[in-house]
Amino acid sequence: MTAAAPEEERGAAGSEGGRSAPPSGRPESGGRRTDPGSGLTRAYLFAQRAARALVRGAHTNWRRSLHLRVISTTLVLSLLVMAGLGYVLISQVRSGLLDAKIGTAVNDHRAGLNYALAELQENETGDRDRLMYNIANELADRSGDTGLYGVVILPSVDDELGWVGEKLEEAPDKKLEDSVPERLIDQIRDSMGDQQYHTYARIQSDTDGTEDPALVVGAELTHAYELYYVFPLQHEQEILDLVQRTVALVGTLLVILLGLIAYVVTRQVVTPIRSAAQSAERLAAGDLSERMTVQGEDDLARLAVSFNDMAGTLQEKIQELEELSKLQRQFVSDVSHELRTPLTTIKMAGDLLFDDRDELEPAMRRSVELLQSQVERFEELLADLLEISRHDAGAATLGIEPSDIRDAVMKAVGDAEQIAEKRGIKVIMRLPADPCVAEYDPRRINRILRNLVVNAIEHSEGRDVVVTAAGDRDAVAVAVRDYGVGLKEGEEHLCFDRFWRADPARVRTTGGTGLGLSIAKEDATLHGGWLQAWGMPGQGSQFRLSLPRHAETELRGSPLPLVPPEFSLGRAYPREGEDTT
């Protein structure tokens, strides 16, 4: 493979027309080579995304589904309980089996030890090796046809062979001489007398190399020999494995059964709750005729009855409020229309008197001027009442046309110029160089901006007013900032209520009906825009109007911040000459 790369490079360099020839034995694929690792990378990324999506889906279902949480919790707790009970049960069974086996093994070993000692006393002379061999085989024969244990006699002197007695027809491949642990041998040799010791070990097989558990019991036979009994624990291990499988099977079935029980019980509770939630959602959406189905006489049935009673009461109250609101709107509209005729007559008479005020006495002249101003204010109030009634009735319409928001700002500032000059206030405009065209109703937007500018002048406490306009790809915005009395906490929402005033004791110098900001809020909402307020006591306030570029589109953000930028610098007022845009 190391020679293939140079051949490909030579083939690429020597091909005609600047086109590289494909390597020998490989199909041409449009002049591109496929990286073998790229497929693995894509598969890994796909698996990673799939795993993340699975985790997110499981987490979402866990948060949203009470049914799933109850069942999952029941399964987990049941599994933990069954695991704990199974562990205790298996531990008890294992302890009982081993204790019984140890008792039997010690008794058998004691009997074999006594027999071996008796044989040694009767045959003190003779071939010692032959005697030990016979004793080992005799003791092994006593284990019965099943070969319950094997017998090992080891000399106390190292590097000497011992004697093994076992049922060869039962375990011909077991290496009993290697199954006696060294720790047990050392423990017996360090002891005094014929005290018995036991420990656990492994019996290794010559055929397949497997190791079976075993119990080894040993004691000193004479000063020169030690007697060991090796008891296989295969039968006990089989019993323990059977108990473990039985516990695992019963535990699994019990956990599944508890899960099914939890599913059925939870479903009986969750289904009515879901039905109640759906009914509440439809009721909140305006379907006042929505009612729950009542089944039975239990707690859930009483919940359904209470819900239906509540829904019926709400429907009655809402209908009463709708009728009352309809009558109020109709009354306001009728009164506004009916007052227009006498107001027109009064205004005509007042205009005549106002035109000839110079010929009147000073006291009469002042009365005529007050009459003229109050008639004009009364006319504005009637116009605002009519506009509010249109919004309440849902009859307000928009005359949408593409317009530059900068023109609306300049017109609003121009309309309020005389008021600002009287109070010695300078209105500063910060307008972008590029057009900020949006689709809106110029009449309503001009009214909003004029109202915001006049209110800023009214509450600026003699300081300048800053009007800023900006636009981005999706929206345009205008912010009107003053440095006057400001707003207290919570008043940024109350200021849009009808006839609300921040300071009732404050004397109005520019008139006003108390409906301007309410109408402005309704006009902004009608455009799908926002009209928001910010303020701090003694730090001034800022009102921001945000409109979408295109009508019938959702407004997701504003090009201007609601909180003035100078507050992010830790100062209440901008420094002289500082640009706060």
List, for residues 227-267, the tens digit of each pLDDT value.
888 888 888 888 999 999 999 999 899 989 988 988 888 88
Check if the beta carbon of residue 189 is closer than 8 Å to that of residue 180: no
Residue pLDDT, tens place only, 67-80: 788 888 888 898 89
Residue 140 contacts by C-beta under 8 Å, 6 or more apart in sequence?
Answer: 149, 150, 151, 165, 166, 167
> Which of the two residues, 461 and 23, has the higher pLDDT score?
461
Residues 468 and 120: their CA atoms lie apart, in Å, by 118
Please count the other Cβ atoms lying within 10 Å of the Cβ belonging to residue 483.
23
Residues 360 and 255: their CA atoms lie apart, in Å, by 102
Tokens of 92: 């008890």
For range 31-36, the mean pLDDT = 48
Residues 52 and 421: their CA atoms lie apart, in Å, by 64
CATH assignment of 398-568?
Answer: 3.30.565.10
Helix (H, G, I), strand (E, B) or coil at 73: helix
Residues 216 and 91: their CA atoms lie apart, in Å, by 21
pLDDT at position 249? 93
Cα dist from 309 to 273, 281, 320, 520, whole Å:
17, 16, 17, 39
The pLDDT confidence band at residue 507, using thresholds 50, 70 and 90, is very low
Check if the beta carbon of residue 542 is closer than 8 Å to that of residue 479: yes
Helix (H, G, I), strand (E, B) or coil at 528: coil
> Which of the two residues, 374 and 93, has the higher pLDDT score?
93
Q: Where are the domains of the chain?
A: 318-396, 398-568
What DSSP letter does each residue of 56-69 carry, written as one string? Answer: HHHHHHHHH-HHHH
Exposed / middle / buried, residue 344 (Cβ in 10 Å: 0-12, 13-18, 19+): exposed
Please count the other Cβ atoms lying within 10 Å of the Cβ belonging to residue 170.
16
Residue pLDDT, tens place only, 518-560: 888 888 888 889 999 998 888 889 999 999 998 888 888 899 9
pLDDT at position 26? 43
Backbone angles phi, psi at 532, to 5 degrees: -125, 155
Answer whether residue 273 shows pLDDT above 70.
yes
Exposed / middle / buried, residue 125 (Cβ in 10 Å: 0-12, 13-18, 19+): exposed
Answer whether residue 95 shows pLDDT above 60.
yes
Q: Say what angle helices 234-284 and 66-122 make with each other, to 10 degrees.
A: 170
In the block, residue with structure tokens 């006593």: 142
Tokens of 428: 């500063």
Residues 279 and 328: their CA atoms lie apart, in Å, by 31
For range 107-131, the mean pLDDT = 84
Helix (H, G, I), strand (E, B) or coil at 173: coil
Question: For the sheet containing 211-220, what is the strand order?
Answer: 163-165, 150-155, 225-232, 211-220, 197-204
Backbone angles phi, psi at 155, to 5 degrees: -75, 150
> Which of the two residues, 88 and 299, has the higher pLDDT score?
88
Instruction: Say which CATH architecture domain 318-396 belongs to.
Output: Orthogonal Bundle (1.10)
pLDDT at position 501? 66
Half-sphere exposure of 207 (CA within 13 A, CB side): 5
For the chain, the C-alpha Rg in angstroms (whole number) is 50
* The one-letter amino acid at 7: E
Answer whether residue 34 shows pLDDT above 50.
no
For range 260-284, the mean pLDDT = 82
pLDDT at position 91? 92
In the block, residue with structure tokens 């106002």: 354
* Per-residue exposure over 566-575, b if at least 16 CB sit within 10 Å of its own CB, e if not: bbeeeeeebe
Tokens of 485: 């009395």
Answer whether residue 438 shows pLDDT above 70.
yes
The two beta strands, 427-430 and 465-471, are parallel
Residues 26 and 5: their CA atoms lie apart, in Å, by 13
Answer whether residue 39 shows pLDDT above 70.
no
In the block, residue with structure tokens 């001489």: 177
Answer whether residue 23 shows pLDDT above 70.
no
What DSSP letter does each residue of 217-232 carry, written as one string? Answer: EEEESSSSEEEEEEEE
Residues 464 and 483: their CA atoms lie apart, in Å, by 7
Check if the beta carbon of residue 344 is closer than 8 Å to that of residue 383: no
Residues 49 and 66: their CA atoms lie apart, in Å, by 27
Residues 137 and 129: their CA atoms lie apart, in Å, by 12
| DSSP-H helix ranges across 403-501 | 405-415, 417-422, 442-458, 491-494
pLDDT at position 267? 82
Query: Which of 46-50, 107-111, 351-355 is predicted with the least confidence, judged by mean pLDDT?
Result: 351-355
pLDDT at position 162? 66
With 0.95 as the threshold, say if the pTM is over it.
no
Exposed / middle / buried, residue 479 (Cβ in 10 Å: 0-12, 13-18, 19+): buried
